[in-house]
Amino acid sequence: MTQIEGGIGPYEFAGTPGAGTSEVQTLTIGGTPDGGTFKLKFDGEVTDDIEWTAVDNDLIAAIDAALEALENIGTGGVAVADGTLTDGIGTVTITFGGNLAKLAVNTITVEENALTGTAPTVAVAETTPGVTADYRGAKKGALVTDTTNGILYINTGTALAPTWTKVGTQT
């Protein structure tokens, strides 16, 4: 995989350029929490306290807001969604987007578990590994030539989430 700092090309690549995959991680809350807070850590930055609640949508919103408040994630940097939550217990998925789309990223860790109740746990695991897109950073309209098969591709996506589309009817 080749990452670049913006540009229009043309570039050369042996084979079809890979579109990449955005990382998905799963946060699991176990035991029987009845209150308290927890903190998450991503690449050295720690969230403010995330208050546990048995109201699933409120808990999802709190996790999303806390992660997006980190400078290294930012607004739109993650999408937090219900996995198997029931009354604040179960899983939520965290899908990386924005500046972190189509990248291999580090796994979020639990910095502090201050949940109360019966044996409450918080854990995060990688569900779908991120794969950095080939020529991530190439502007929309950039061209890549597959030097193995003689096929030209154009980026019809964005610089941070390129979509490599075959130009014309080449075979």
pLDDT tens for 45-104 read 999 999 999 999 999 999 999 999 999 999 999 999 999 999 999 999 999 999 999 999
The residues spanned by each domain of the chain are 1-20+132-171, 24-128
> Which of 20, 1, 16 has the alpha carbon at shortest distance from 97?
20
d(C-alpha 26, C-alpha 103), whole Å:
17
State how beta strands 11-13 and 143-146 pair.
Answer: parallel
**92-137 residue pLDDT tens:** 999 999 999 999 999 999 999 999 999 999 999 999 999 988 888 8
State how beta strands 45-46 and 24-42 pair.
Answer: antiparallel
Is residue 96 within 8 A of residue 81, CB to CB? The reply is no
Is residue 80 within 8 A of residue 92, CB to CB? The reply is yes
